[in-house]
Structures are given as structure tokens and as C-alpha cells.
């Protein structure tokens, strides 16, 4: 039987990537096993460097620690650019998908729903991946 991590982590990354594709992002998975970065989502205006986690529960300190690690890895791998933004997308059991981020001119971390972060209506729902759909398409 698959571990809890395998049952939650990878399927959650795929779900986030699928929904970002629906929002017209070009989504790629980081294959080099970089700690702190799972997905890169690009559109003509911005690139999001994303760490995804699905856990039973999160403390504020855990969220902050994971976000800071993603931010640090983004700066190391991509440099410090206004158009490359690190975010931490996470979910706890029975809770909505949330996004941790910070504004360029502010070093405080903020958390909001996936819908609010991407400017979607409150009634917009996360879409399930259709059976047989390949999220990670071969290039």
C-alpha cells in the first residue's frame, strides 16, 4: 500500500497543476528534486515558483518555515526578479486550498484562499482531474 505521502503529496501537486492549467498557466514540474520547489507556473505576465503540501494540519510556524525555504530556493535558482514569485500552496484535511505569499515591497507573509489569490469568484471550485488526463505531458 502506498504511503500517506504518496497518497496525498503527488496527487495534490497534480490537482494544483491541473487547476493552474485551467487558468491558462503553462505548468511544469521540477524534476531535479529541488527541495522547496515542486511546480513552475508561467503566463505572459508572471512566473510562480510553487511548493505544494497536503498535511493533516499546519501550524503558522510550519507555514512560515516552508514558505521561507521556497523563497530562498527561488532566489538561488532564478535570482531576484519582480516577475518570479514564490508561493506555497497547501491544504489541510477538510480545509480549502490556501496560498502563502508576500508582496514585493513588504516582508510579511500573507495567506489567502486559492480563489482569492488568483482573483477568482468565491463560488469558483477546484476542478477534479478527469480520468485519464495526463497532467505532466511529455515534451
99 in Cβ contact with 114 (< 8 Å)? yes
Stretch 20-27: mean pLDDT: 94
pLDDT at residue 82, rounded to an integer: 73
Calpha distance 28→49 (Å, rounded): 10
Calpha distance 38→52 (Å, rounded): 6
Calpha distance 72→86 (Å, rounded): 9
117: which 3 cell numbers? 489569490
- Pick the range with the lowest mean pLDDT from 1-15, 25-39, 76-90: 1-15
pLDDT at residue 62, rounded to an integer: 94
Q: Model confidence at 34, in pLDDT bands (50, 70, 90)?
A: low
Domain range summary for the chain, segments of one domain joined by +: 4-117
Stretch 100-125: mean pLDDT: 90
pLDDT at residue 4, rounded to an integer: 47
Q: What's the CATH code, domain 4-117?
A: 3.40.1350.10
CA angle 45, 48, 54 (to 5 degrees): 150
Calpha distance 19→104 (Å, rounded): 25
pLDDT digits (tens, 9 = 90+) for 116-130: 999 999 888 999 999
Q: Model confidence at 30, in pLDDT bands (50, 70, 90)?
A: confident
pLDDT digits (tens, 9 = 90+) for 60-80: 999 999 999 999 999 888 887
Amino acid at each position: 500500500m502506498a504511503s500517506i505521502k504518496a497518497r496525498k503529496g503527488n496527487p495534490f501537486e497534480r490537482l494544483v497543476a491541473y487547476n493552474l492549467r485551467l487558468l491558462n498557466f503553462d505548468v511544469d514540474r521540477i524534476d531535479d528534486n529541488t527541495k522547496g520547489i515542486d511546480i513552475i507556473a508561467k503566463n505572459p505576465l508572471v512566473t510562480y515558483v510553487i511548493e505544494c503540501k497536503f498535511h493533516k494540519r499546519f501550524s503558522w510556524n510550519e507555514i512560515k518555515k516552508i514558505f521561507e525555504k521556497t523563497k530562498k530556493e527561488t532566489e538561488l535558482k532564478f535570482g531576484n526578479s519582480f516577475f518570479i514569485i514564490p508561493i506555497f500552496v497547501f491544504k489541510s484535511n477538510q480545509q480549502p486550498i490556501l496560498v502563502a505569499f508576500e508582496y514585493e515591497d513588504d516582508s510579511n507573509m500573507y495567506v489567502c484562499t486559492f480563489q482569492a489569490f488568483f482573483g477568482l469568484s468565491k463560488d469558483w471550485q477546484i476542478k477534479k482531474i478527469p480520468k485519464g488526463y495526463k497532467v505532466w505531458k511529455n515534451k
